[in-house]
Amino acid sequence: MRLPWALALASAAAAQDISPVAEKPVKLTLDTGYRFLSSPGGDFNTYRSVVNLGDGPKLFGADLRVDGWKNPLFDTLDLSANSWGGEPYTMLRASFGRKGLYRVHGDYRNAAYFNFLPSFANPGLERGSLINQRSFDPRRRMSNVEVEVLPGNWLVPYFAYQRDAGVGTGITPYVANGNEYPAATGLDDGTHHFRGGVRLEFKKAHVTLEQGSSVFHDDQRVFSASRIGGNREGLIFGRPLTLDSIDQRYQVTGGNHYAKAMLAASLTRWAQATAHYIYSRPRTSVTYQDRGTGLFLLGGTRFFNGLESLGSAEARMPRTAGAFAVELRPLNRVRFTQSFWTDRFHNASSALLAERILFAGSTPELRNAFTSERLVVNYNRHQTEGFVDVTRYLTLRAGYRHIWGDATLPSSLLSPASGSIRQPVGLAGFTFRPGNRLSANADYEGSPGDRSYFRTSLHNYHRLRTRVRGQVAKSLTASGTFSFLDNKNPNQGAAYELNTRTTAATLHWLPAEGKRASVLGEYARTSLHSNVFYLIPQLQQRAQSLYRDNAHSVTAIVDLHPSKAERSPAISVGGSFVTAAGTRPVRYYQPLGRATLPFSKAAQCYAEWRWHGMAQPLLPMEGFRTHQFTAGLRLQH
Amino acid sequence: MRASLAIALLFAAGAFAFEEGGEWAGTELCQGCHEDIAKAFLKSNPHSSLDTNTRRGWQTRACEACHGSGVKHAESAEASLIRNPGKLAVALADKTCLSCHANQPSRSGRVMTGHARQQVSCVSCHPVHKKGPDPRTQCGSCHQGESLSFAKPHSHPVRQGAMSCADCHNPHGGVLSKAVSTFIGNEPGCLQCHGDKRGPFAYEHAPMRTEGCGACHEPHGSTNPRMLTRPSIAQSCLECHAGTGAGFGGVPPAFHDLRSPRYRNCTTCHMKIHGSHVSKALLR
């Protein structure tokens, strides 16, 4: 795991010098090796849920880049592949095109989505059961292709296709009257998305028109043919509730058509405007059936032996959204921005569920239920902000945001049928940039709170974020961030209080331009305190929900080159470390050490050790520790 | 809104241009001194098409499309006599870039986002003359708190290289808050990978539509499983389903006896918590 922004900081120093190095027309890199994994100690399922790296031969990375190739088909070509060979996240990217004629971008990703944690959604944990009743093990495969025709011309047509599919297995409860039974589930969902449009680029205005369509399916299935006891303990009238067999199927199909228009225009030399309009019409159509046998409870007093359900449902959710923004620069040092965003949609649905309850030795009982629901949501946001360049280095800004809207829900025993949101927000901030070596900014927003949808929504809040970044010395760059959010909701019997604080600092030291050593360190301290009253359902009494999370996170990497020679071996040590105290204490360590030995300018070998360890003092069964050793070869041409 | 528009119009009389016209030096003249830059630029930089493209009016003077007229600079070799977008006030530097790039779909809603408001210039992330590191890997250098959240045990696989910040956020702008990107028209970008949560459902769970995934999940990383904002499901649910006063979220019926582990794992029964096609109580 290379720190993702290490390259960014490293290049920041290099970016001071804008003289480019002459590039080769063809560049090829190949990074391959073998990973050995010690048998994970602790819980293997938790290891798979969090890390999931396996052993075996791997292709860690391969890149091919061609620039300026005289070829009738393309003049640039970029191909890259990452993490192939049974890795949890696999990726392939391709990009090629011919200047002024066309450009193609494509990628493919394959992600393992394993999640099985013994303590999660496990009503049997206190009995010693370690079955996560909401676990899954699918793979998601996503691919994306986008073609741009005549890039750089005034008219640019483009087309894109995207696919996202997940197939796998898992465990999910089958909920029958009075009990729930963990059963095997097969997951199978997929979306195909097509879109196409045209960009029109005029001298003072740009217009984009796009139309798209998607189709998706979700064919989840729950099945079991063996007797399962369920979560309800004990006997009911001397008999245990059991599930003997279940076959439950969802057949969800749906789609969405949308149209989108965007406009960006320079109205005058001092005014620019953008507008954005989207209309979409998602819909779903569902067929559902299940057939369960066993011994179930009906109404607390009667037993039945089988349940057959057949359902169908339709839902349509037309949605209209629009935005308008204008940027005005009446004076050289003054500018204003105004933006307005509205999003309105409703979901109108109808569902029919027919059930047949089977009793041993008596006539089945039939039940039909038809419902028609409607959810309506209106959301609006208006924001005005003024910016003043007080000096060449200092910009002050202040503004106002107003959010308002309402939602109407289907009537329910559990919640009110309608609510509204109203949030006046004050905005302020500054940017101070006295030169390329130092920059600082602050961003504040606060609202006295008026109406919000939920007890834990942003209500009466203050939020501040400050950042400072500077080059302390030629070889030393440092940056720091401090942010806080204080949110209160004194109304609604909630007495909700949320305080979060984040303090983060980064240090990047490149002595002698990094020829002998480089140090990159990042530290963050985050704290979250939340108090809110809730009602204990069985007692109808008020209680307080407390949540505390105080975390320290460190990532660091130190690169050492024993000699200044071009082919000097290198040693890297570092890793990441997270420790959190509070409601759910966690320690998660990932140290690493790496030695690299170059054979030539184009080839180097390396050996790497990593350790992954996680411990949760309150949940000792959910921890793991493992060593990883990797030996690899990196070739470059 | 009207008031500030009126103020802006009042200032309009005094408006002036910061564009410049006049004579042009031409790419060949620039190349005379800045040979390395010009060679690499013309060879592999997408902006080099300006030098031959007649439509934008910068043919044979691609350098000056961004740097302005180079005549005085060429005569005196004085650095202060040519525009350096890297040293301009951010809004002015960005105007140079946006004169061509304003309408790319990702730029829509630019003024509403933090980067424009915080004066983060285009060139802060995009080196212009040569290919630098992938801008998608640079976010953590400013957003450190978020970057370190990915080191927590339950997180999106950004550090593993499986995705980048730009898969969920549009750094150039966007109409949703926190620059969350949109997908298939106006769906939040989360549904790009979590398609089975898309709906529309016959029976919706309201926060999915009004507050988004962030109502229950910590999107970057968390110490809680499933990246939930609370360590247990009951705590996540009951903080809203408390039945006190206004706001959505009623209290569960009294048979939900929290002393029983069955009722402390709400999603064991309410398994279709993101929305159901069959059950109003989200049971199947």
Residue B251's pLDDT is 82
Q: How far is B173 from chain A (nearest CA, A)?
A: 12
Q: Is residue A280 part of a domain?
A: yes
Q: Point out the residue among B14, B130, B200 whose CB comes nearest to the CB of A330.
A: B14
Q: Are A188 and A167 in contact (CB under 8 A)?
A: yes
Residue B199's pLDDT is 87
Inspect the interface and report whether the beta carbons of A264 and B202 lie closer than 8 Å: no
- Whole-structure pTM value: 0.89
Q: Does A59 reach chain B within 8 Å, measured CB to CB?
A: no
Inspect the interface and report whether the beta carbons of B284 and A338 lie closer than 8 Å: no
Contact residues, chain B, for A340 at CB < 8 Å: 1
Residue B248's pLDDT is 78
Contact residues, chain B, for A456 at CB < 8 Å: 215, 239-240
Residue A7's pLDDT is 38
Q: Point out the residue among B103, B175, B256 whose CB comes nearest to the CB of A537.
A: B256
If 0-12 CB within 10 Å is exposed, 13-18 middle and 19+ buried, where does residue A522 land? buried
Q: Which of A59-68, A423-432, B7-16 has the lowest mean pLDDT?
A: B7-16
Q: Is the pLDDT of residue A635 over 80?
A: yes
pLDDT (average), residues A277-296: 94
CA A144, CA A73: separation in Å to the nearest integer? 21
Q: Is residue A536 part of a domain?
A: no
Residue A197's pLDDT is 94
Q: Is the pLDDT of residue B51 over 90?
A: no
If 0-12 CB within 10 Å is exposed, 13-18 middle and 19+ buried, where does residue A477 land? buried
Q: How far is A274 from chain B (nearest CA, A)?
A: 7
pLDDT (average), residues B247-254: 81
Q: What are the backbone angles phi and psi of residue B112, rounded to the nearest 5°? A: -85, -10
Q: How far is B56 from chain A (nearest CA, A)?
A: 8
Contact residues, chain B, for A502 at CB < 8 Å: 145
Q: Is residue A216 part of a domain?
A: yes
Residue A444's pLDDT is 96
Q: Is the pLDDT of residue B245 over 60?
A: no
Q: How confident is the model at residue B103 (pLDDT cuts 50, 70, 90)?
A: low
Inspect the interface and report whether the beta carbons of A522 and B14 lie closer than 8 Å: no
Q: Are A508 and A520 in contact (CB under 8 A)?
A: yes
Contact residues, chain B, for A174 at CB < 8 Å: 284
Inspect the interface and report whether the beta carbons of B200 and A283 lie closer than 8 Å: yes
**C-alpha to C-alpha distances, A549 to A501, A623, B88, B213, nearest whole angstrom:** 11, 19, 43, 20
Give the closest residue to A467 by CA, choosing from B98, B128, B144: B144
Dmax over Cα atoms in chain A, in whole Å? 90
- If one counts the domains in chain A, the total is 1
Residue B244's pLDDT is 60
Inspect the interface and report whether the beta carbons of A88 and B49 lie closer than 8 Å: no
Residue with tokens 């009016």: B57
List pLDDT tens digits, range B166-190. Answer: 999 988 887 788 888 888 878 888 9
Q: Which residues pair with B154 in a beta bridge?
A: B222
Please tell me which of A224-233, A481-490, B112-121 the model is most confident about, judged by mean pLDDT: A481-490
Per-residue three-class SS string for B146-200: HHHHCCCCEECCCCCCCCCHHHCECCCCCCCHHHECEECCCEEHHHHCCHHHCCC
Q: Percent of chain A, pLDDT > 90?
A: 68
Give the residue, A67 or A5, on which the prediction is more confident: A67
Residue B117's pLDDT is 84
List pLDDT tens digits, range A147-168. Answer: 999 887 889 999 999 999 999 9
On average, the pLDDT of chain B sits at: 82
Inspect the interface and report whether the beta carbons of A454 and B7 lie closer than 8 Å: no
Q: Are A105 and A96 in contact (CB under 8 A)?
A: no
Residue numbers of A between 272 and 301 with CB closer than 8 Å to B: 272, 274, 276, 278-280, 282-284, 286, 288, 290
CA A632, CA A610: separation in Å to the nearest integer? 14
Q: What 8-state DSSP symbol labels residue B63?
A: H
Q: Are B261 and A224 in contact (CB under 8 A)?
A: no
Give the residue, A316 or B98, on which the prediction is more confident: A316
Which residues, 6 or more positions from A70, have their beta carbon under 8 angstroms from its beta carbon? none
Q: Point out the residue among A341, A382, A407 whose CB comes nearest to the CB of B175.
A: A341
Q: Does A258 reach chain B within 8 Å, measured CB to CB?
A: yes
CA B204, CA B212: separation in Å to the nearest integer? 12
CA dihedral B111, B114, B118, B123 (to 10 degrees): -80
Inspect the interface and report whether the beta carbons of B133 and A329 lie closer than 8 Å: no
pLDDT (average), residues A259-265: 91
Q: Are A218 and A169 in contact (CB under 8 A)?
A: no
Inspect the interface and report whether the beta carbons of A311 and B251 lie closer than 8 Å: no
Give the closest residue to A485 by CA, choosing from A502, A510, A468: A502
Q: Is the pLDDT of residue A225 over 50?
A: yes
Q: Are B145 and A481 in contact (CB under 8 A)?
A: yes
List pLDDT tens digits, range A348-360. Answer: 999 999 999 999 8
Inspect the interface and report whether the beta carbons of B231 and A583 lie closer than 8 Å: yes
Helix or strand or coil: residue B95? helix
CA A152, CA A552: separation in Å to the nearest integer? 48
Query: The domain containing residue A263 runs over which residues?
Result: 166-180+189-387
Evaluate the CA torsion angle A116, A118, A121, A122 in order and state its sign. Answer: positive
Residue A232's pLDDT is 86
Q: How far is B168 from chain A (nearest CA, A)?
A: 15
Q: Is residue A310 part of a domain?
A: yes
pLDDT (average), residues A222-239: 88
CA B77, CA B64: separation in Å to the nearest integer? 15
List pLDDT tens digits, range A43-58. Answer: 999 999 999 999 999 9
Residue A135's pLDDT is 94
Q: What are the backbone angles phi and psi of residue B144, rounded to the nearest 5°? A: -70, -40
Q: What are the backbone angles phi and psi of residue A552, rounded to the nearest 5°? A: -115, 130
Which residue on chain B is closest to A534 by alpha carbon?
Answer: B242
The phi-psi region of residue A491 (left if phi > 0; otherwise alpha if psi is between -120 and 50; otherwise beta) is beta
Inspect the interface and report whether the beta carbons of B245 and A494 lie closer than 8 Å: yes
Q: Which residues pair with A172 in a beta bridge?
A: A183
Residue numbers of A between 109 and 138 with CB closer than 8 Å to B: 109, 111, 115, 117, 119-126, 133-134
Say whether the peptide bond before residue A620 is cis (omega within 30 degrees of 0): no
Give the residue, B159 or A595, on which the prediction is more confident: A595
Say how many C-beta atoms besides its own lie within 10 A of residue A111's C-beta: 21
Give the closest residue to B160 by CA, choosing from A95, A534, A91: A91
Q: How far is B25 from chain A (nearest CA, A)?
A: 21
Q: Which of B44, B134, B278 to mutate to test the interface with A (most CBs of A within 10 A)?
A: B278
CA A344, CA A376: separation in Å to the nearest integer? 8
Per the structure block, which two tokens stand in for B99? 């004169």
Q: Which residues pair with A463 in a beta bridge?
A: A445, A485
pLDDT (average), residues A392-416: 84
Q: How confident is the model at residue A184 (pLDDT cuts 50, 70, 90)?
A: very high
Q: How confident is the model at residue B104 (pLDDT cuts 50, 70, 90)?
A: low
Q: Does A487 reach chain B within 8 Å, measured CB to CB?
A: no
Q: How confident is the model at residue A115 (pLDDT cuts 50, 70, 90)?
A: very high
**C-alpha to C-alpha distances, B70 to B53, B58, B129, B278, nearest whole angstrom:** 20, 13, 17, 69
Inspect the interface and report whether the beta carbons of B184 and A83 lie closer than 8 Å: no
Contact residues, chain B, for A337 at CB < 8 Å: 111, 116-117
Q: How far is A513 from chain B (nearest CA, A)?
A: 18
Residue A9's pLDDT is 40
Q: Is the pLDDT of residue A18 over 50?
A: no
Q: What are the backbone angles phi and psi of residue B135, rounded to the nearest 5°? A: -55, -25
Q: Is the pLDDT of residue A10 over 50?
A: no
Evaluate the CA torsion angle A539, A540, A542, A546 in order and state its sign. Answer: positive
Q: How confident is the model at residue B48 (pLDDT cuts 50, 70, 90)?
A: confident
Q: Is the pLDDT of residue A67 over 50?
A: yes
Contact residues, chain B, for A129 at CB < 8 Å: none
Q: Is residue A471 part of a domain?
A: no
Q: Is residue A252 part of a domain?
A: yes
Size of interface A-B (CB pairs under 8 A): 527
Q: How far is A291 from chain B (nearest CA, A)?
A: 13
CA A574, CA B151: separation in Å to the nearest integer? 13
Q: Is the pLDDT of residue B273 over 90?
A: yes
List pLDDT tens digits, range A515-534. Answer: 889 999 999 999 999 999 99
Inspect the interface and report whether the beta carbons of A553 and B148 lie closer than 8 Å: yes
